[in-house]
Amino acid sequence: MPLATETEAVTLLHTLGLYALTALAEIVGCYLPYLWLKQGYSAWLLLPAALSLALFVWLLTLHPTASGRVYAAYGGVYVSAALLWLWAVDGVRPALTDWAGVGLCLAGMALIMTGPRTA
């Protein structure tokens, strides 16, 4: 017996993609002010930062389940995206323990997303 129907698999991929976009919008929205405050970049970066954070909030509203569950499951994707950002943008190679932490976060997210629902 398959673990998920094709429709469930598409829904899961859609949800994970939405989480990934949400995480990217949040990270960019926080990174740009960091560049301004810590690296001496132009304060004009605050404008795209605000737009990115507004996009982040809007993307969170597109999830079809209760907001608390969305935020909890989203946390696992955010931690993963932050670690990839650390590597790709900051140029810091994650340690084995970083990857293990991401695995734990994603396992928790999977449990939250696939657990039984009462509401």
Maximal C-alpha separation, the chain: 57
Angle, helices 6-39 vs 46-61, to 10°: value is: 160
- Cα dihedral 17, 72, 28, 47 sign: positive
Q: What is the pLDDT of residues 5-64, one digit of tens each?
A: 777 777 778 888 888 899 999 999 999 999 999 999 999 999 999 999 999 999 988 877
Domain locations along the chain: 6-114
- Cα dihedral 119, 19, 32, 94 sign: positive
pLDDT of residue 3: 53
**Dist CA 32 CA 30 (whole Å):** 6
